[in-house]
Structure 1
Amino acid sequence: MSWITTNSSKHFDFINPTADMVSIDDIACALSNICRFTGHLDNFYSVAQHSVIASEIVPAKFALEALLHDASEAYCNDISAPLKALLPDYRNIEDRVDQVIREKYSLPHPAMSPAVKYADLVMLATERRDFYLDDGTPWPMLEGIEPLQFIIIPLNPMQARVRFIQRFKQLQEGAPA
């Protein structure tokens, strides 16, 4: 079996993913229930909330891409970057899923826009500060990256899910970011 059943009862096939298998409601549900940093936080903080904030800090033309930059994790789950680097087969599957999502929502592909990559690093720097992940060990990818000027207050999964869907609808309707 190479598929999972999603919250909306769709079958998502990892071998042959298609756009009709992807649902924004499934993405919101899953990302709101996945904790950042593989759960190694004192308080639950979801990938959905991370994505909403990322979408709010990029220039408006990149907001939808930022909101969906981790959408493949809704199907593949969130694996820490150090472990992911050791799993090339996983990376290939995640890339395939990401491409289907990018095509469905008319996002740039094959790679993430530089503005979204930068916002993801700003988020990482902010999360490192706000969730007490800074033990003095250098994180080279954050050299020169300043955290946001506000503190992230974690939402519960349902709140994050609602915010994610609201943000998606706002961006689909072309409302001001």
Structure 2
Amino acid sequence: MTAWAQTVTGRALVYEKPVFTAEHLFTEIGHGLSLIARFAGQTDIAYSVAQHSVLMAESALDETGDGELAAHCLLHDGHEALIGDRPRPMAEAVAHEARIRCAARFASQAAAAVVVAVFQDAEARVKARLDAAIWKAAGLDEPTSRIAALVKSYDLRALATEKRDLMRPAPRPWNERVEASPPLRLRQGRIRPWPPAIAEERFAAALTALCPDAAKAAGRTLSEGAA
């Protein structure tokens, strides 16, 4: 049976062959990301994936003037609107547990590593199909290796900024790449979490500005997106 999910618009999204229209970027992706909390909600005030994405896009655009890069920053977590945001520590904990259980069952560390790699690859493929469908709806090409590397860099910088502005003093050091990353250059100084409705509006405004052809196809205008 093909796995599918019902979206907020009432349609069936088939994970094996996902399809999005330009309008779905606003009504499903932006809406969904505005309701998903980063860090599994472990901040004093909920901070959405939508806001995280907008702040990344704004910083990339301000620093480089590269609209394509900014658009990919805005949509880099778009798949999370359909699968949620699994924090990296949780993903690492699950992978570690899987290796232990597989090694015990197969009596082979090598076999355990293969099983875990297969499941991680399967998850990555599902995300990649969702991403490709989102990029197509947005009128974006697949990111080049340069843009993909820059998006990862801005993602790390966003994480460092969120650690600084949203989290309490860390009881242990975070990932060394996060610790070494400079914060984003924010337009408003420090991060102040937006309510979901504002996060959705700001995401829509950024999407309208960065992907004007998609916005036009969806019947959106810059003035509407900038509410």
Q: What is the TM-score of this pair, normalised by structure 2?
A: 0.69
**Equivalent residues, number:** 175
Q: Structure 1 regions of 5+ residues with no counterpart?
A: none
> Structure 1 residue 21: deviation in Å?
9.5
* Deviation by residue 1:116-161 (Cα, 9 ceiling, x = unmatched): 1111111000000111253342421224311135210000101100
Does structure 1 conserve the Cα–Cα contact (< 8 Å) formed by 2:161 and 2:183? yes
> Structure 1 residue 84: deviation in Å?
3.3
Aligned to 2:171: 135
AA paired with 2:160? A
Q: Which of the residues 71, 77, 88 maps onto 1:70? A: 77
* Deviation by residue 1:44-103 (Cα, 9 ceiling, x = unmatched): 000000000000011333111111010010111111123335352333322221222223
Aligned to 1:93: 126
AA paired with 1:168? L
Aligned to 2:201: 162
Aligned to 2:52: 50
For the pair 1:147 / 2:183, whether they are aligned, the reply is: yes
Aligned to 1:81: 88
Q: Structure 2 regions of 5+ residues with no counterpart?
A: 96-118, 214-221, 223-227
For the pair 1:173 / 2:206, whether they are aligned, the reply is: no
1:92-131 paired onto structure 2 within 5 Å: 92-105=125-138, 106-109=140-143, 113-131=148-166
AA paired with 1:36? R
- Helix, strand or coil for the counterpart of 2:9? coil
* Deviation by residue 1:9-61 (Cα, 9 ceiling, x = unmatched): 22111122134498112101100000001111111000000000000011333
AA paired with 1:100? A
- Helix, strand or coil for the counterpart of 1:97? helix
Q: Which whole-Å CA distance do the structure 2 matches of 1:15 and 1:83 have between them?
A: 25
Aligned to 1:24: 25
AA paired with 1:48? A
> Structure 1 residue 110: deviation in Å?
7.6
Change (3 A) 1:32 1:98: same
Does structure 2 conserve the Cα–Cα contact (< 8 Å) formed by 1:84 and 1:91? no
Q: What is the TM-score of this pair, normalised by structure 1?
A: 0.87
* Structure 1 or 2: more helix by fraction: 2
Which protein is bigger by CA-based radius of gyration?
A: 2
Comparing 5-14 and 90-99, the one that deviates more? 90-99
Fraction of identical pairs, as percent: 30
- Helix, strand or coil for the counterpart of 1:51? helix
AA paired with 1:92? R
